[in-house]
Structures are given as structure tokens and as C-alpha cells.
């Protein structure tokens, strides 16, 4: 019998997704990481392994059903049961509704919503047979209200929040904890440092989100006793207007 416990992070970037993977790996979980390009995962895989954990990177287009099915089968067969699944694909692309194209709108929905359905469905099928597991979706303020110039992103994030709600109600009685995390605010990334230097300058005052602190909350959700499960958790810096 394979006694490994696996965390699958779909959208394991350099910030939030990577921090979540490292947090679970420190607790002995085998970290399985996906992006469309496996080469971009290599530094994170090497870092986790160097820290004494175990990590594996997979190239997978999260929007393609056959790729997702094959990925889950491979992980469950070779590495162990997926005890925790994190969907962390963003697709935060601004555009005026007057200039938005059907192609780009659909692509954003595919990335930030449809791929969440595909991956979560396949993982849930495995978890149901074991009667345990955690499914966590990274959301955003756009999932609560649509801002001007972000119609496509807001539509996708509203969709993933609704998916999470429906799954939580259906799968909770099967001992599967489904939660949605609203990450509201700038995160400590190269993008924020380079594109919004004034915002990044508030880092020393805890004015932007630390990915490691976000990851700590995902670990907390995974370990909640089922008599006090959280469905939705908001994370934002103290100075964020909301």
C-alpha cells in the first residue's frame, strides 16, 4: 500500500501556489505541481526537494479534459492519494467591455473557471471513494463584485465561487471539505514590485499579502475539524479598502 499523502496544486506559480506547495511539503505531503510548462516548475520542485520535501512537476493544460483525467490517474497510481487539492489559476486580465473579444472572454473563463471544474471533478471522484479530502479554490474580490474593466475576470471568478458553493453542499456530507478563499489585495510578487512600485513600497508596513501567510491559511483550512468547517475565508492586508 502507498502511504503517501499528496497535495495537488494546479497553478503552482512563484508566489501563492508555490508557497502553498511548500507549506504542505513541510508536513510530509508529496507536492504535485502543475503549469502548462513544466520547465517553469523546475525551480520550485528543486527548492522543495532541497528543503527535505518531495515534489513533482507536471505539464498539463488544465482546460483539456483528457489531460486532466490522465494527470489525476498518473498521480493516484504512482504517487499516492490526493488528500488536498488547490485550484490556483488566476487569469486577471483587464479590458473594457467595449473592446473585449469573444475569444479572450472565453479563454479567461476557460482558465479561471472551467479548468477548476475539470480538475475538481476528477479529484472529487477519487476523494468520494475514500470518504475524505479537502478541495480549496483561490478566489478574488472579482468573485464578489465586478469592477469596471474586468467583466471577463469577474464572470469567471463568480463562476468558480458558485462551483465551490455547490460542491461544498454536495460533498460535505461525504466528509470532503470544500472551501473558497477570497484573496483581496496585492500579493508580494515580481509583477507587483515592477508594475506598482508605490504599492510594493508598503510591504514593510504589511501593506501587501505575504504568500507564506496566505499558505498558512490554506493549511489551516485543510486541518479544520468538520464540526467547524469554514466555507469562505477572506484574506486582505489591514490597510486594504473593501
Residue range 48-75, pLDDT digits in tens: 999 999 999 999 999 999 999 999 999 9
Identify the three-state secondary structure at position 30: strand
High-pLDDT (> 90) share of the chain, %: 87
Under the banding of pLDDT at 50, 70 and 90, the label for residue 2 is: low
Identify the three-state secondary structure at position 184: coil
Alpha helices for 131-210 (secondary structure H): 151-171, 190-195, 197-200
Tens of pLDDT, residues 187-200: 998 888 888 899 99
The pLDDT assigned to 36 comes to 86
The 8-class DSSP code of residue 108 comes to H
| β partners of residue 77 | none
Residue 91 gets the label, from left (phi > 0), alpha (psi -120 to 50) or beta, of left
Q: Which candidate, 108, 241, 112, places its Cα nearest to that of 185? A: 241
The arithmetic mean of pLDDT across residues 130-136, rounded, is 98
The pLDDT assigned to 233 comes to 97
Residue 119 clears pLDDT 70, i.e. is over it: yes
Q: Which candidate, 196, 80, 185, 199, places its Cα nearest to that of 139? A: 185
High-pLDDT (> 70) share of the chain, %: 99
The residues near 137 (Cβ < 8 Å, ≥ 6 apart) are 87, 116, 120, 160, 161, 163, 164, 178, 179, 180, 181
Residue 217 clears pLDDT 90, i.e. is over it: yes
| β partners of residue 150 | 95
Query: How many residues would you count in the chain?
Result: 242
Amino acid at each position: 500500500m502507498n502511504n503517501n499523502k499528496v497535495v495537488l496544486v494546479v497553478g503552482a506559480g512563484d508566489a501563492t501556489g508555490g508557497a502553498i506547495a511548500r507549506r504542505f511539503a513541510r508536513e510530509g505531503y508529496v507536492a504535485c505541481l502543475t503549469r502548462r510548462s513544466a520547465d517553469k516548475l523546475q525551480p520550485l520542485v528543486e527548492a522543495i526537494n532541497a528543503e527535505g520535501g518531495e515534489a513533482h512537476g507536471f505539464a498539463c493544460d488544465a482546460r483539456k479534459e483528457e489531460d486532466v483525467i490522465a494527470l489525476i490517474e498518473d498521480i493516484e497510481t504512482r504517487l499516492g492519494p490526493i488528500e488536498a487539492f488547490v485550484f490556483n489559476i488566476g487569469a486577471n486580465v483587464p479590458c473594457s467591455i467595449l473592446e473585449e473579444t469573444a475569444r479572450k472572454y472565453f479563454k479567461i473563463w476557460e482558465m479561471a473557471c472551467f479548468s477548476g471544474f475539470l480538475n475538481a471533478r476528477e479529484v472529487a471522484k477519487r476523494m468520494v471513494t475514500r470518504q475524505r479530502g479537502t478541495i480549496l479554490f483561490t478566489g478574488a474580490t472579482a468573485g464578489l463584485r465586478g469592477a469596471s474593466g474586468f467583466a471577463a475576470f469577474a464572470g469567471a471568478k463568480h463562476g468558480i465561487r458558485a462551483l465551490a458553493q455547490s460542491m461544498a453542499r454536495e460533498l460535505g456530507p461525504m466528509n470532503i471539505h470544500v472551501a473558497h478563499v477570497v484573496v483581496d489585495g496585492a500579493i508580494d510578487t515580481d509583477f507587483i514590485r515592477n508594475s506598482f512600485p508605490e504599492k510594493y513600497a508598503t510591504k514593510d508596513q504589511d501593506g501587501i499579502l505575504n504568500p507564506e501567510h496566505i499558505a498558512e491559511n490554506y493549511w489551516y483550512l485543510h486541518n479544520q475539524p468538520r464540526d467547524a468547517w469554514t466555507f469562505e475565508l477572506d484574506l486582505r492586508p489591514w490597510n486594504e479598502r473593501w
